[in-house]
A and B are shown apart, each in its own frame.
Chain A
Amino acid sequence: MEILMAVTAGIIFMAATYLLLSKSLLRVIIGTALLSHGVHLMLLTMGGLKKGAAPILSEHAKSFVDPLPQALILTAIVISFGVTSFILVMAFRAYQELKTDDLDQMRGNDQHE
């Protein structure tokens, strides 16, 4: 199972990388969002996918799944959400001001520190 998940995460990473390298700003943002999905999936997989009850003690199960990666992922989800929405608005503003979403036209030049 872990191997399948690792392959899936790898594919998501690959797609995200490909999107990040494109010229359109929107595709870059979609790439970052996709990348964070991949990372979360990877985190979950790394924690081990052994079957067990959800980490809620009132279940009275014999074994529980690892709660720590879940806590980490929860934090990561919230942070990546904040960052993604920030970037999204930033891209929107940049498009408003510059009237372009082509990263090649947004490049800095020598006069620009």
Chain B
Amino acid sequence: MQLLHFAILSPFVFAFIIPFLAKYAKRVHTGWFVLILPVLLFIYFLSMIRMTQSGETLRSVLEWIPSLGINFTVYVDGLGLLFALLITGIGSLVTLYSIFYLSKEKEQLGPFYVYLLMFMGAMLGVVLVDNVMVLYMFWELTSLSSFLLIGYWYKREKSRYGAAKSLLITVSGGLCMLGGFILLYLITDSFSIREMINQVQLIAGHDLFIPAMILILLGAFTKSAQFPFYIWLPDAMEAPTPVSAYLHSATMVKAGIYVIARFSPIFAFSAQWFWIVSLVGIFTMVWGSFHAVKQTDLKSILAFSTVSQLGMIISMLGVSAAALHYGHTEYYTVAAMAAIFHLINHATFKGSLFMAVGIIDHETGTRDVRKLGGLMGIMPITFTISLIGTFSMAGLPPFNGFLSKEMFFTSMLRVTHVDLFNVQTWGALFPVLAWAGSVFTFIYSMKLLFKTFKGNYQPEKLEKQAHEAPIGMLVSPVILVALAVSLFFFPNILSYSLIEPAMNSIYPTLLDSHEKFHVHISQWHGFTAEVLMTLGIIAVGTIGYLTINKWKGIYKLFPSKLTLNRLYEKLLTIMEKGSYRVTKQYMTGFLRDYLLYIFAGFIILMSGALVLKGGFSFTTEGMAKIGIYEMILTLVMISATAATVFARSRLTAIISLGVVGYTLALFFVIFRAPDLALTQLVIETISVALFLLCFYHLPKLRLKKKTRTFRMTNFIIALGVGIIVTLLGIASSSQRTKDSIASFFTKHSHDLGGGDNVVNVILVDFRGFDTMFEITVLTIAALGIYSMIKTKVKEEGKSGE
């Protein structure tokens, strides 16, 4: 157990203490206690940068279920450390922000911070473990804690809806991913990601390669809100804003990105990976930014924007796979570099934007852009934060979003030069889509900023008198936007400290041990195509924003009945109603129907087995001869049976049943079974007497008028059962494979059992246990009958039931 193990588990330990602090230390906002932990963890992870920078990694095994190969193995490399820093860094800022956002008096702080810490620990676990099973465990814990956080205000209907939706979608994806992990285990016989990377050749040639890849990608896409699974993210905006900022923009939704980057060394050399990842990513980018423009709720805009930006990062990760084919060329690895850089940038500007929106919501009481406006003079600091955030999001200088957007274009332009995987034909699609998506990004960024802060202040529409936020609430977003600005001017502080080690994790095999990726980010390359594209975006985007009312109509071209949300709703209703209807179909409540299923099942299974396995055989060899007595008895039995069925009065039926029983006793006589005959005679007598005792009380045997089909089905089923039983009887007496063990009983009955009546010796000596429990059965039956007759439950007030 290393310090790192403890670092991952510490949020869970802390989560145990928080409820007590929330209860007994009410003077202080619980968040202050919580804040200590992410700050300490952040400092701890910062101290590891030196290690990953020099290309070293940390690996430590803590045995958990060693017999199954499931161990809590921690592994820190560039990629894991980058995410760990994001999680703890943004986590600290979000905790700080939440202290001022959530009221000590009005909200239940204990549960909130417990869930938040649970999430933080789970997320650290996802990015820092090497064992896929443990990764999966933490993965589902993030889903679960996200569910709890979205439903934090559980009295609101929409919160519960959003929480259930996100849980359904992310857990379905998580289960797919579990399937993918198990397939990888089947191929490599190991749960360790390191081991899997070492066996890439084996995985590549295996039949299960494609299924494993698709299942893992499904998990990543659902978590990272890619098309068509993004629908849970806008509904998750019902969570408190710190949660949206933390989970649904900076960390959890990037778990999918982490998985894609982490499994790149295993899958990325295949054409399928290249095409699926990059196309889903780029399409999600365009789709998300296009739909963000029409939203009117600030958080919805940010949700769709997050979807779009995540798509952008994923598309870059997808195209970075090309580098694996060309070897060490900076030409294609730039996509991976851009992806990692944008990952960091997105966390800074999106986190600050969410916080800014939270402030606006907190201080005005609404998030609807139609009600907002003219806040620039009232909330100058929030305005500045939003300005930097939105401009960075739109990809404008002098903010960090500009740099990563340029690099995004660079990587998309370079895809067109790839002559692998038939890219030549469709390669031009990438820069075009990327550009179109960026134009929409520009438009919704401007909308977000100007509709909120410019225009007329409309105090009559607001619930509260708008004013600037308290200073504590502003600290976190100010730090984030300060980062966004400074990363533009000094992007290279990240280059060799974070980005290069992370690239090393994505391409672990690409370089020789002494080489390093060339990561140098510069603000100005000269008049390249990328700059022209950005200028085009600004031009077209500005026109688009100013004329937004003219072209807004195209959103109406999408029929509201055909949205993905409708599809999701429909699917749920179909599943619920459908299963109800199906169950209703066959669970009729009629005993006869269930008996029909059982008998029909019996007939089908048995006849199927007889036919398919050729089980039927017929021989008269070794069988006893038919005597005249047997003939007569058989005839009597059959006619008595028929009489039972066709009897019109209950007396006839009971007597005929008795006849069958007595004939059976006579058979026992003929077939040399004296004890059986005796018992059968006595018991048949008692049974008939019992039937007759109940005779007066029993209802009249009514042969009700049944429909013809009713009787026909009964007859067919009964006939089937009879035939099958007959065939089985004949088949099994025609083919005896082994001799009976009867000779043992007859030989040793006297000397071992001390009796000459072999049947009795078997009953009480050789197989005495049977007899004991048979006595028990009789006792229970007697007690049951007694209690049934004696106990009379008077049901008052209850009718019918």
Contacts and interface: CB of A to CB of B under 8 A. Distances in A.
A18 B756 contact: no
Given A2-B624, A2-B733, A17-B721, A86 B785 contact: yes
B623 A68 contact: no
A14 B746 contact: no
Contacts of A52: 672
A96 B759 CA distance: 42
B675 A12 contact: no
Contacts of B641: 11-12, 15, 34
Contacts of B673: 44, 54, 65, 70, 73
Q: What range describes how many residues of B lie at the interface?
A: 35 or more
B156 interface: no
Contact of B781 (A70, A85, A92, A102): A85
List 5 A-B pairs, minimum CB-CB distance, nearest first: A14-B722, A10-B726, A6-B729, A82-B781, A18-B718
Given A12-B641, A88-B691, 20 more contacts: A1-B623, A1-B626, A4-B631, A5-B729, A10-B725, A27-B653, A44-B671, A45-B729, A56-B758, A57-B750, A73-B673, A77-B676, A78-B777, A79-B777, A82-B781, A85-B687, A85-B690, A89-B694, A104-B590, A107-B589
B653 A88 contact: no
A55 B758 contact: yes
Interface stretch (B385-393, B446-454, B766-774): B766-774
Contact of A34 (B660, B667, B742): B660
Interface of A: 1-15, 17-28, 30, 33-34, 37-38, 40-42, 44-58, 64-68, 70-71, 73-75, 77-79, 81-86, 88-93, 95-96, 100-104, 106-109, 111-112
B630 A1 contact: yes
Contacts of B750: 57
B253 to A, nearest CB: 43
B136 interface: no
Contacts of B723: 10, 14
A57 B756 contact: yes
A49 B714 contact: no
A67 B634 CA distance: 23
Contact of B590 (A13, A81, A103): A103
A56 B778 contact: no
A17 B722 contact: yes
A23 B592 contact: yes
A101 B704 CA distance: 12
Given A6-B733, A30-B657, A40 B719 contact: no
B645 interface: yes
B638 A8 contact: yes
Given A11-B638, A17-B721, A48 B785 contact: no
B642 interface: yes
A81 B697 CA distance: 20
26 contacts: A6-B726, A6-B729, A8-B637, A10-B725, A12-B641, A13-B722, A13-B725, A19-B645, A23-B706, A33-B657, A40-B664, A44-B668, A50-B622, A56-B757, A66-B740, A74-B759, A74-B763, A78-B774, A84-B687, A85-B687, A88-B694, A89-B789, A103-B591, A107-B589, A108-B589, A111-B801
